[in-house]
Chain A
Amino acid sequence: MSENIEQYLSQLRKELSGSDRATVQDAVSDAEEHLRSALEALRESQPDISEIEALPAIIEGYGTPAETAAAYQQIEERLGPPLGGRPQVKSRPALARFFGVFADPYAWGALLYLILSLVTGIIYFTWAVSGLSISIGVLVLIIGIPVTVLFMLSVRGLALVEGRLVEALLGVRMPRRAKYARKDVGWWQRLKPLLFGKRTWLALLYMVLQLPLGIIYFTLFITLITLALSLVAAPIIGPILHLPIVVTNNTLYYLPDWSTPLLAMGGVLLLTAIMHLARLIGRLHGKLARGLLVGE
């Protein structure tokens, strides 16, 4: 039997272990919202009732952790995890599948995200490193604590923004649970998870990692796209514009005309492969983001 709401939630989480992470998040935040609302409503008529006295009746109506977990699992079974896995592409011919990537919004989203990641990487890295060093630097002073707290809050905020970005462009669901501000604990208890909690530090790690990753993604994709586009343009550059492809001191090298259509075809294939690569790296990056930015 649960003695308080926190205990109920952790039992519920245990019952749901093995389910999709997003389902667990949904279930836990729904339960917390309901149980606290019910407790609040009960306290309007009986102001001094304690949580432990009130809870059995509330849970009687809401359902035990096992019953609640079963309700979520039943729906998950029927519908599949909430956006966790993308609907499987039905068996289409391999060629259609290969070129179909151009119609996949998440491939385009991933490409955009990966190229943008240089910019976001620079911002996150600068913010994380300078914020952290300023915070540590002024920690000996009296203003050190508020500066550090503000910085950590900004890290949480940026992590949320990045989560939205990942969700929109990479299609990886990044569930978030609005934290209930407990009134029965002091300000130190509330600050502790912010300063020492795993979530803030993992988010910081993610922000630092985003710069090297962003540089790699950006360089890789800009190089590949440039190469592919120049291949596609080969029939125009050679036979029509008569431009050489390599110029050394006094020698101009031209492509033989017959090779240019083949090169263009190679370019189209390469462009398609780039889209597949973007989607794949996007998925992997989404997993990383989910691992580091999503709590519990």
Chain B
Amino acid sequence: MDEDTATNRKFRKELSSGTVALVLLSVLDRGNEPMYGYQIAKLVGAGDADTPMGKQGAIYPVLRSLERSGLLQSKVEPSTSGPPRRYYHTTQFGRETLEQWTGIWEQTKSFVDNMLEGVDNE
């Protein structure tokens, strides 16, 4: 894909700081049952070179901050094979917020698309 220069990295990081939260919220909202970090990371393909999600480790602090803002809730459950896992699910407030964020995203997307294509001034 694109070169991994410092400017590109910085730009990608700036873009993803908002989109990652939106993506995580929507993934958790669509999945009908609570999910834990590793599951979510696999699902969104974080850590793969060709997804703009950053490293898998960058997902967890975002999950924590979404929980702190009341958009997600979590509980820790022991697992049979591995360590105890923190399962996240969306709250009512999270679902309402997701709807609004999706709207904001659509708006931003079409605005940026228009700008990149060059708007025809009528």
A219 beta carbon closer than 8 Å to chain B? no
Q: Once bound together, how far apart are the Cα atoms of A62 and B61, in whole Å? A: 12
CB distance from A32 to the nearest CB of B (A): 6
Q: Report which residue of A29, A61, A74 has the largest number of chain B beta carbons within 10 angstroms of its beta carbon.
A: A61
Q: Once bound together, how far apart are the Cα atoms of A37 and B78, in whole Å? A: 12
**Residue of chain A at shortest CB distance from B45:** A61
Task: Scan B55-91; emit 1 where CB is below 8 A from any A CB, else 0.
Answer: 1111011101100100000001010011111100000
**Residue of chain B at shortest CB distance from A31:** B57
Contact B57–A75 (Cβ < 8 Å): no
Q: Give the chain B neighbours of A61 by CB distance below 8 A.
A: 41, 46-48, 55-56
Task: Please tell me which one of the listed residues A29, A40, A62, A75 contacts residue B56 in the complex, with CB atoms under 8 A apart.
Answer: A62
**How many chain-A residues does the 8 Å CB contact rule pick out?**
31
Q: Give the chain A neighbours of B57 by CB distance below 8 A.
A: 30-31, 34, 62-63, 67-68, 71
CB distance from B74 to the nearest CB of A (A): 11
Contact A27–B38 (Cβ < 8 Å): no
Taking A33-B36, A62-B47, A62-B55 as contacts, is the C-beta distance between A40 and B61 under 8 angstroms? Answer: no
A178 beta carbon closer than 8 Å to chain B? yes
A283 beta carbon closer than 8 Å to chain B? no
Contact B86–A75 (Cβ < 8 Å): no
CB distance from A59 to the nearest CB of B (A): 9
A38 beta carbon closer than 8 Å to chain B? yes
Contact A40–B82 (Cβ < 8 Å): yes
A193 beta carbon closer than 8 Å to chain B? no
Q: Which residues of A contact B (CB under 8 A)?
A: 26-27, 29-34, 36-41, 60-63, 67-68, 71-72, 74-76, 78-79, 82-83, 178, 180
Q: Which residues of B contact A (CB under 8 A)?
A: 17, 36-38, 41, 46-48, 54-58, 60-62, 64-65, 68, 76, 78, 81-86
